[in-house]
């Protein structure tokens, strides 16, 4: 896991390290263990390393080919089938000089070109510079686990692991893109290529870009390899357990200490039990949210039962204000999901013990865990007709213009063979998972130099889970309908019956209570925020008198985080000063 960045300049210009250094500096928190650069003619690559595998020789950029026209690669992520790719590379005469998981893809690119990307299994954002043709190739994994951002400007093409690295390096002027505000305030995140930074785009999950002389010359996309429902022989529970255990084993490859984010819910419990079956050392980290329902007691009990080392991290009112600016700083591709706050504190603590954390993202989407999957609703609209959107709609009187409910932007799933349930799952995979959950995990872990891994999104397991028959995802037990049915059966079979048939508790933070303590401060902050002044009426401060209403609290949190984002990333106020302002409650 690392931070990467780079340039493709117009024909006749030359890159140098001085141009790349600011980009590297602004992703340094993602890779605190070293840096490296590659420059050749119009191409430049920068890399900040978080050492996970091959600690001694795995430095990047990696290079192959003739000295006068090499091929160079930088990558952010983990390639879980790298040993298979090593064997393929050696069959074609490649001489590998490192044990890095990222060197085999380099040699495969030298042999088969862009077809290499389709061979990769894992999470990644990769840049390959081909000096012979002065061409840059960029690719992200099909689920969008690892992010990449770019700007195509008159002075060249710039990319980086985070959009603020591009603005803070001086390549693009920081300016808010108001076009994404309806999405952000209704969904808590935005979809598609546009970001909150005008002129900076996010690469879509599975997108491939080819860039030459500062211009994108082609683009394509590799969607997740998900199949219609399949039949299989043997016990479904046995196959499920074997598949999940194998996925966790692949995600445990590491030369540094690792742990798990253990909420006490279904997904993280199943991952913890898989680690126990594999005989892996387990260090579990759990947030205890003060004043809100949570599963920290169940998490502690499970950790004790499997012999895990367990660290509980309390999160309450005293943490809210000091961490709010830090969240806005790291969440530069803004999502206003308040669950990111406890995660930020967990990773701050976990950083003292581990460099890799397993997490349960993807379990709800692949195994149909959300309540919307148990309802007979339009499959292309289900992903926003629930708790994940609509916060701005009831408060339209506070806005200077309409904040329309966003239309759906589902993936182009095949029109034949997929069930209605699978279409609902696909819409969530494309929207909520890619643009909120995975983004939140990336920023909160990388803020403290930790690699977050998601075994449920393992290439093989995700294909298996998505293709399970509907009745193994949503079914009835003792008169009640449950999602994630096969996962619940799996946990019940291993003695966790109470958890297996409990209702989903969720992850709640009392942001309304915290904000109600400083209503006057927030009213002043909103009133003097340039970005909020463009969309809010003066009466919007009345929203702060209704913070006991969940939707009012959620919208107030979104507006506050948006104001802080603008202050930090557009107005360029220093993070320590903004943090002090919030901590003291004085404008």
User: What is d(CA 453, CA 105) in angstroms, rounded to the nearest whole number?
Assistant: 20
Distance CA(509)–CA(518), nearest Å, equals 17
Q: Dihedral angle at the C-alpha atoms of 57, 59, 61, 66, nearest 10 degrees?
A: -20
The mean pLDDT of 98-121, rounded to a whole number, is 95
Give ∠ CA 188-189-193 in degrees, rounded to 5. 165
Say what the pLDDT of residue 376 is: 61
In the structure, what pLDDT confidence band is assigned to residue 379 with cuts at 50, 70 and 90? very low
| Predicted pLDDT of residue 442 | 97
Work out whether strand 451-453 and strand 356-358 pair parallel, antiparallel, or are unpaired.
parallel
Q: What is the pLDDT of residue 383?
A: 40
End-to-end CA distance of the chain: 38
Model pLDDT for residues 515-570, shown as the tens digit of each residue? 998 999 999 999 999 999 999 999 999 999 999 898 999 999 999 999 999 999 99
**What pLDDT, on a 0 to 100 scale, did the predictor assign at position 289?**
86
Flag whether pLDDT at 297 surpasses 50. yes
State the span(s) of the chain assigned CATH 3.60.20.10. 2-221
> What is the token pair recorded at 183?
């999405």
pLDDT tens digits for range 1-27: 689 999 999 999 999 999 999 999 999
Residues of the chain with CATH 3.40.50.620: 236-500
Residue range 336-346: mean pLDDT, rounded:
94
Q: Which residue has the higher pLDDT, 231 or 451?
A: 451
- SS3 breakdown of the chain: % helix, strand, coil, rounded to 5? 40, 20, 40
Which residue intervals of 35-124 are DSSP H helices? 82-91, 103-112
Alpha helices in 351-437 (DSSP H): 363-367, 420-428
Band (pLDDT 50/70/90 cuts) for residue 387 is: very low
Strands 258-261, 356-358: pairing kind: parallel
Alpha helix locations (H) across 408-493?
420-428, 438-446, 459-466, 485-493
pLDDT digits (tens, 9 = 90+) for 390-406: 578 788 899 998 777 76
Fold assignment, 2-221? 3.60.20
- SS3 of 377, please? coil
pLDDT, residue 243, reads 97
More confident residue, 389 or 26: 26
Residues 205 and 426: their CA atoms lie apart, in Å, by: 13
User: Which pLDDT value is given to residue 584?
Assistant: 83
Residues 6+ apart with CB under 8 A from 289: 296, 315, 316, 342, 507, 508, 509, 510
Structure tokens at 275: 């680690």
pTM exceeds 0.85: yes
Phi, psi of 439 (to 5 degrees): -65, -45
Count the Cβ atoms, other than its own, within 10 Å of residue 225.
Answer: 12
Query: H/E/C letters for each residue in 346-363?
Result: HHHHHCCCCCEEECCCCH
- What is residue 475's predicted lDDT score, i.e. its pLDDT? 95
Q: What is the b/e burial string over 87-120, where b = at least 16 CB atoms within 10 angstroms of the residue's CB?
A: ebbeeeebeeebbbbbbbbbbbbbbeeeebbebb
pLDDT value, residue 401: 83
Mean pLDDT of all residues belonging to the chain: 91
Please give the structure tokens belonging to residue 564. Answer: 């802080």
Query: What integer pLDDT is reported at residue 414 of this predicted model?
Result: 59
- pLDDT single digits (tens) 304-337: 999 999 999 999 888 999 999 999 999 999 999 9
Q: Would you state the structure tokens that stand for residue 127, as one six-digit string?
A: 């840049």
Fold for the domain defined by 236-500: Rossmann fold (3.40.50)
Task: Look at residue 415 and tell me whether its pLDDT is greater than 70.
Answer: no
Quick one: pLDDT band at residue 234, thresholds 50, 70, 90?
confident
pLDDT of residue 503: 76
Contact present, 346 and 208 (Cβ < 8 Å): no
Using CB atoms within 10 Å of the CB of residue 457, give its burial: 0 to 12 exposed, 13 to 18 middle, 19+ buried.
buried
- Which residue in 453, 444, 351, 462 sits closest to 78, CA to CA? 453
Q: Which of 311, 293, 305, 296 is nearest to 349 (CA)?
A: 311
Instruction: Return the structure tokens found at 121.
Output: 């299994």
What are the φ and ψ backbone dihedral angles of 20, each rounded to 5 degrees? -85, -25
Phi, psi of 461 (to 5 degrees): -65, -40
386 pLDDT higher than 80: no
Q: What is the 3-state secondary structure (H, E, C) of 274-341?
A: HHHHCCCCCEEEEEEECCCCCCHHHHHHHHHHCCCEEEEEEECHHHHHHHHHHHHHHCCCCCCCCCHH
> Looking at 63-67, 375-379, 436-440, 508-512, which range is the least confident one?
375-379
- Report the C-alpha gap between 265 and 39 in whole angstroms: 48
CA dihedral of residues 296, 300, 305, 310 (deg, nearest 10): 130
């Amino acid at each position: 896991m690392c931070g990467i960045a780079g340039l493709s300049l117009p024909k006749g210009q030359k890159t140098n390290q001085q141009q790349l250094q600011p980009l590297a500096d602004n992703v340094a928190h993602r890779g605190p263990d070293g840096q490296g650069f590659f420059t050749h003619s119009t191409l430049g690559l920068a890399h900040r390393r978080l050492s996970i595998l091959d600690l001694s020789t795995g430095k990047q950029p990696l290079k192959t080919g003739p000295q006068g026209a090499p091929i160079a690669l930088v990558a952010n992520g983990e390639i879980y089938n790298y040993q298979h790719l090593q064997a393929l590379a050696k069959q074609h005469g490649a001489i590998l000089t490192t044990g890095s998981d990222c060197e085999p893809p380099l040699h495969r690119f030298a042999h088969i070109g862009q077809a290499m990307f389709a061979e990769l299994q894992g999470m990644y954002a990769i840049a390959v510079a081909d000096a012979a043709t002065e061409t840059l190739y960029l690719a992200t994994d099909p689920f969008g686990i690892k992010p990449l951002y770019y700007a195509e400007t008159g002075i060249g093409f710039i990319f980086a692991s985070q959009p603020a690295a591009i603005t803070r390096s001086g390549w693009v002027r920081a300016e808010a893109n108001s076009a994404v505000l309806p999405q952000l305030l209704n969904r808590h995140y935005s979809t598609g290529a546009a970001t909150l930074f005008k002129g900076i785009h996010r690469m879509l999950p599975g997108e491939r870009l080819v860039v030459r002389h500062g211009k994108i010359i082609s683009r394509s996309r590799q969607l997740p390899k998900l199949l219609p429902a399949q039949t299989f022989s043997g016990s479904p529970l046995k196959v499920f357990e074997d598949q999940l255990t194998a996925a966790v084993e692949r995600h445990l490859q590491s030369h540094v200490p690792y742990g798990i984010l253990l909420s006490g819910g279904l997904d993280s419990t199943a991952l913890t039990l898989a680690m126990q079956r594999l005989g892996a050392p387990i260090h579990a980290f759990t947030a205890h949210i003060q004043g809100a329902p949570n599963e920290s007691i169940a998490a502690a009990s499970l950790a004790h039962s499997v012999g895990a080392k367990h660290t509980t991290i309390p999160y309450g009112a005293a943490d809210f204000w000091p961490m709010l600016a830090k969240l806005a700083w790291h969440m530069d591709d803004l999502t206003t999901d308040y669950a990111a706050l406890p995660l930020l504190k967990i990773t701050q603590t976990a950083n003292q013990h581990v460099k890799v954390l397993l997490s349960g993202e993807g379990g709800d989407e692949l195994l149909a865990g959300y309540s919307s999957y148990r309802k007979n609703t339009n499959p292309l609209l289900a992903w926003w007709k629930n708790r994940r959107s609509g916060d701005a709609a009831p408060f339209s009187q506070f806005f200077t213009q309409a904040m329309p409910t966003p239309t759906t932007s589902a993936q182009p799933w095949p029109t034949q063979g997929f069930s209605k349930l699978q279409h609902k799952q696909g819409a969530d995979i494309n929207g909520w998972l890619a643009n909120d959950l995975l983004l939140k995990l990336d920023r909160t872990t990388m803020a403290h130099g930790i690699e977050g891994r998601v075994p449920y999104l393992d290439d093989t397991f995700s294909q298996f889970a998505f293709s399970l028959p509907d009745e193994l995802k949503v079914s009835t037990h003792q008169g009640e309908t449950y999602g994630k049915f096969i996962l619940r059966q799996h946990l019940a079979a291993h003695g966790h019956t109470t958890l297996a048939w409990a209702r989903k508790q969720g992850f709640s933070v009392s942001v309304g209570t915290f904000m109600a303590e400083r209503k006057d401060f927030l009213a002043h902050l909103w009133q003097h925020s340039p970005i909020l002044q463009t969309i809010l009426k003066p009466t919007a401060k009345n929203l702060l008198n209704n913070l006991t209403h969940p939707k009012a609290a959620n919208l107030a949190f979104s507006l506050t985080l948006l104001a802080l984002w603008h202050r930090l990333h557009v107005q360029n106020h220093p993070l320590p000063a903004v943090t002090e302002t919030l901590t003291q409650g004085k404008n």
